[in-house]
A and B are shown apart, each in its own frame.
Chain A
Amino acid sequence: MSFNYQDIRKNFPILDQQVNKRPWVYFDNAATAQRPIQVIEKIREYSVLTNSNIHRGTHTHAIRTTEAYENARDIVRDFLHAKEREEIIFTHGTTESINLVARSFCEKYLNEGDEIIVSEMEHHANIVPWQMACERHHATLKVLPFADDGTLKTELLESLISDRTKILAITHVSNTLGTVNPIKEIIRIAHGHNIPVLVDGAQSAPHIIIDVQDLDCDFFAFSGHKIYGPTGIGVLFGKRFWLDAMPPFLGGGEMIDRVTFKKTTYNELPHKFEAGTPHYVGAIAMGSAIKFIQNIGIEKIASYEHHLLSYATDQMKTLENLKIFGESQNKTGVICFQLDQIHPFDLGTLLDQLGIAVRTGRLCADPVMDHFGVTAMTRASFAFYNTAEEIDSFVAALKRIRVMF
């Protein structure tokens, strides 16, 4: 493998520590990724040297901070291969991005009796905002199911679409099954009926090259903290046509053109959707995170992570009575599993004793739990700083723990 993870790990100081007297193995990357020193330094730099509110002052640091913030928008535009920088809206994260569309798009376009389609494998953040919109507008939420191997039943999409379908909201990569959905094909089908598509990219942006023009998606949402940036910052890409047509989401400073008590006119894109002081330090630091992974090469990252996924899957399959949920041919480095009859809470607790961090529980995806008839799962998820040696200790830990029961 041409990928030198040892050099890369040096950029992540947090990884070099012991937890419960053992070298820390961080396999909870799908929940949040760790930040490289470049991102940490950027946050420090802006906090120590430059902090000033953006888009307002005439003073040196206000101008510098504004430039850096707007530069981060260019970095994101480039990262998503969007046509225009005005199509990039900074939000708090994927959840806010989806809520923005569910609120503003639906306010304009969703009427009584209309329909919205989501998939069965969505994170709650891509279900609940649409359910709330449906309740507000007396519309119906329809669900595209997935097969037991974790692949989406795309062939059923046509039959779900009706002339009342207003928008389709679907995840690019499942946070539980790891499935990479055929999103381009799904968008093509939806567009055949003039239905716009929102793509939840929270789990894809860190692992796959995103080209919103090639996908032709109408909206794309992702979070800074899952791509090695800070928490509290995220992105909504929207095609200019939609963003221009949609009413503002939040009202306040920055998003206005002129305010009188009679009537307020709104600012142009992207500011129309960025009310209040944004998390500009977060946006600037997220820009550094994107630069960091671009410098390594997202294709290289994807291929190394795929190697980790295959290795982990093979090693885990040597254990009898270990069931993996989600066995799509096209997966990112996410493995949800059940070992013997051991409850995920027990397994997670004991893995932690061995210094290994995994996620357990319902994984913000109750419908996926219901699909498999389980109340919880254990999830190991990998990033490019993880190693085959860590997978070996993980599998050894599973063997050690199972004999305790």
Chain B
Amino acid sequence: MNIEATQQAIIADFSAFDDWMDKYTYLIELGNELEPIDASYKIDQNLIRGCQSRVWLQQKLEGDLLIFEAESDALIVKGLVALLLKVFSGRTPQEILDAEPYFIDEIGLRQHLSPTRSNGLMAMVKQIKLYALAYKQIASQKK
């Protein structure tokens, strides 16, 4: 599934919930299911600091594809991190740079991604894009 299809699939998943509790219970579930990142990656260098919660983001290149792993100490944030990973991980740098995570808005969780919310999510999206940009430049220099 490409980025667009993945976002659409998430929106479809969430459209099944008409109650906020179901929605957040599902997010918490996603958070619980997210593979924890290796403790060796939970270092300051990978930490995206927010006043409210912390997010760790680790990346590697496999072939043309950028693989991200991430985790948060707050479960709801972790659930949102899981969704962002579904959308952005395993894509080429160009695909990442071209995409906007509009699904967050569509599933009614936009307040968690606004720049004023200091939960680290907005910074995580920015960081993902910065990695994509950096890898794209490295790739173009090699050519």
Contacts and interface: CB of A to CB of B under 8 A. Distances in A.
B76 A362 contact: no
Interface in A155-204: none
A109 interface: no
B52 A376 contact: yes
B74 to A, nearest CB: 4
Contacts of B138: none
Contacts of B25: 404
The interface size bin for chain A is 10 to 19
B52 A361 contact: yes
Nearest to B32: A405
Interface string A347-368: 0111001000000111000000
Interface in B73-108: 73-77
A376 B77 CA distance: 14
Interface of B: 20-21, 24-25, 28, 51-54, 73-77, 112, 118-119
Contacts of B51: 361-362
Given A345-B52, A345-B119, A361-B52, A375 B73 contact: yes
5 tightest CB-CB pairs across the interface, nearest first? A343-B74, A345-B74, A345-B53, A345-B52, A346-B76
A350 B119 contact: no
Contacts of B53: 343, 345, 376
Given A345-B119, A353-B24, A405 B54 contact: no
A20 B21 CA distance: 12
B28 A405 contact: yes
Given A349-B24, A361-B52, 20 more contacts: A20-B20, A343-B73, A343-B75, A343-B77, A344-B52, A345-B52, A345-B119, A346-B74, A346-B76, A346-B77, A348-B52, A353-B20, A353-B21, A353-B24, A375-B54, A404-B21, A404-B24, A404-B25, A404-B28, A405-B28
Interface string A304-348: 000000000000000000000000000000000000001111101
Interface of A: 20, 342-346, 348-350, 353, 360-362, 375-376, 404-405
26 contacts: A20-B20, A343-B53, A343-B73, A343-B75, A344-B52, A345-B52, A345-B53, A345-B76, A346-B77, A348-B52, A349-B76, A349-B112, A350-B76, A353-B20, A353-B21, A360-B52, A361-B51, A361-B118, A375-B54, A376-B52, A404-B21, A404-B24, A404-B25, A404-B28, A405-B28, A405-B75
Find the residue from B52, B112, B119 having the highest chain A CB count within 10 A. Answer: B52
B34 to A, nearest CB: 14
B75 A346 contact: yes
Contacts of A349: 24, 76, 112
Contacts of A346: 28, 74-77
